[in-house]
Amino acid sequence: MSGDRAGEVLERLSDYAMAGEVWTTGYRYSLGAARRANDRFAWLEAITYFDRALEAVGHIEDAHEAALAGIEARLGLRVALGATGKLDRCLTVMEDARRLAAWMGDTIQVAQIDGYACMLLTSLGSLDRAVAAAQRGAVAAAGHAPSMLNLAFGLGQAYWFQGRFGDAMQTLSDSLPSIRGPMRVASTGTIGTASVLTLVALSKTHAMLGEFDLAFTLAAEVQAIAAKTQRPYDIAYASVAPGFAYMMQGAHDDAVAVLENGLQVARRAGIMLLLPSIARYLGRTYAAAGQPAKAHALLDEALALTRGQRLVGLTAWCSAALGHAHMDGDAVRAEAALQEALSIATDHGYVPVQVQTLRALGELRLRAGDAADAEAMLRRAAALAEAMLRRAAALAEAIGMRPDLARARRSLADALRALGRPAEAMAEDDAAAALGLALRPTRVEARAASNPAPLPTRTERSP
The percent of residues above 90 in pLDDT, for the chain, comes to 59
Q: How confident is the model over 117-139, as a mean pLDDT?
A: 94
- What CA dihedral angle connects 194, 197, 201 and 206, to 10 degrees? 80
Range with lowest mean pLDDT among 99-103, 172-176, 439-443: 439-443
- Give the start-end residues of each E strand in 248-387: none
The arithmetic mean of pLDDT across residues 37-63, rounded, is 93
Q: What is the mean pLDDT of the chain?
A: 85
Task: Give the separation between CA 362 and CA 380, rounded to whole angstroms.
Answer: 9
Q: Report the pLDDT value the prediction gives residue 109, as an integer from 0 to 100.
A: 93
Give pLDDT, residue 208.
84
Q: Which domains are seen in the chain, by residue range?
A: 1-105 (1.25.40.10)
- 329 vs 416 pLDDT, higher one: 329
Give dist(CA 125, CA 201) in Å, integer: 18
Interatomic CA distance for residues 79 and 57, integer angstroms: 19
Cα–Cα dist 65/63, whole Å: 6
Taking the C-alpha atoms of residue 151 and residue 149, their distance in angstroms, rounded to an integer, is: 5
Helix, strand, or coil here: 212?
Answer: helix
Query: Would the pLDDT of 11 be above 90?
Result: no
What is the Cα–Cα distance from 446 to 443, expressed in whole angstroms?
A: 5
CB 207 within 8 A of CB 245: yes
What is this structure's pTM? 0.80
> Which alpha helices (DSSP H) does 309-350 contain, by range?
312-326, 331-348
**pLDDT above 90 for 104:** yes
Average pLDDT over residues 232-254: 95
**Nearest Cα residue to 242 out of 454, 455, 450, 437:** 450
Q: Could you tell me where the DSSP H helices lie in 105-175?
A: 107-123, 127-141, 145-162, 165-173
Residues 200, 237 contacting (CB under 8 angstroms): yes
Whether the per-residue pLDDT at 445 is higher than 70: the answer is no
Hey, what amino acid is at 87? Answer: L
Contacts of 63 (CB under 8 A, 6+ apart): none
Q: What is the pLDDT of residue 365?
A: 79
In this predicted structure, the answer to whether residue 166 has a pLDDT above a threshold of 90 is no
Measuring CA to CA, which residue among 315, 316, 335 is closest to residue 324?
335
Residue type, 372: A
Within 10 angstroms of residue 378's Cβ, the number of other Cβ atoms is 29
Instruction: State phi, psi for 382 to the nearest 5 degrees.
Output: -65, -40
Instruction: Give SS3 for 369.
Output: coil
pLDDT of residue 419: 65
Q: What residues have CB less than 8 Å from 306, skipping those under 6 apart?
A: 85, 276, 314, 315, 318
For residue 239, the SS3 value is: coil
Residue 99: what are its φ and ψ, rounded to 5°?
A: -60, -40
Contact residues for 143 (Cβ-Cβ < 8 A; gap 6+): none
Predicted confidence (pLDDT) per residue in 58-79, tens digit: 999 999 999 999 999 999 999 9
Average pLDDT, integer, range 294-304: 97
